[in-house]
Amino acid sequence: QSALTQPPSASGSPGQSVTISCTGTSSDVGAYPYVSWYQQFPAKAPKLIIYEVNKRPSGVPDRFSGSKSGNMASLTVSGLQAEDEADYYCSAFAGTNTFWLFGGGTKLTVL
Amino acid sequence: QVQLHESGPGLVKPSGTLSLTCAVSGDSISSVTWWSWIRQPPGKGLEWVGEVYHTGKTNYNPSLKSRVTISADMSKNQFSLSVNSVTAADTAIYYCARKGPGYLDVWGRGTLVTVSS
């Protein structure tokens, strides 16, 4: 099964909001509530920032929010800060044959 | 604080076997959770490799299933990854991670494995 589809890049100025999309199918994103998002800085391990579509782990700023509509999930970063510049990956459960899929990643640039 | 640490050879010859271990501290691999491996080729995106439950039950990425084995060692509180018949396409940073119901909440720092003669 193909990876989830994310735009390769996104950008915004400090203080603005940016939304990153993650498009799947009715067999993965659209089928289960298990969509998560990860933030990765260069040469670092990914960090969980959103799980189960719209829940934030303890310590993650509420500037990060997640949503889902049909087969597309979204990550919104509000009040952009320079420290948000990183790669972002979505992930979704795709059933008990394929199990777990990742998106190709989106590089977020803060202008 | 839960910590995971990957270890193993950084260089593997083509057609050989890649073997890595993930040592877990601050949690027991006997807990009600899955323990996962994810890889990331240099400069590319993440790929889920597979996961193991403490009972020994495993799930694998269908594209890798024929070459991958993941196992858990409760006595050492660690789990392992083996990939056989490796090629240059298996060159990647390999991460181990703890998996909740639908997310990977604790990650190791990752270890680079290069397949080259």
Residues A42-98 pLDDT 10s: 999 999 999 999 999 999 999 999 999 999 999 999 999 999 999 999 999 998 888
Angle (CA) A70 A68 A9, round 5°: 105
Q: What is the mean pLDDT of chain B?
A: 95
**C-alpha B101, offset from chain centre:** 18
pLDDT tens for A2-26 read 689 999 999 999 999 999 999 999 9
Give the C-alpha separation, A13 to A105, whole Å.
Answer: 20
User: For B2, what's the count of Cα atoms within 13 Å in the CB-facing half-sphere?
Assistant: 18
If we measure between CA atoms, which residue out of A101, A10, A48, A30 comes closest to residue B46? A101
List residues of B whose CB lies inside 8 A of any A CB: 38, 45-48, 51, 59-62, 95, 100-105, 107-110
pLDDT digits (tens, 9 = 90+) for B32-57: 789 999 999 999 999 999 999 988 89
Identify from A52, A64, A90, A100 which residue to disrupt to test chain B contact, counting B C-beta atoms within 10 A and taking the largest count: A100
Q: Using the predicted structure, report yes or no on whether residue A1 has a pLDDT greater than 60.
A: no
Which chain B residues touch A36 with a CB distance below 8 Å? Answer: 102-104
Burial of residue A13 (CB within 10 Å: 0-12, 13-18, 19+) is: exposed
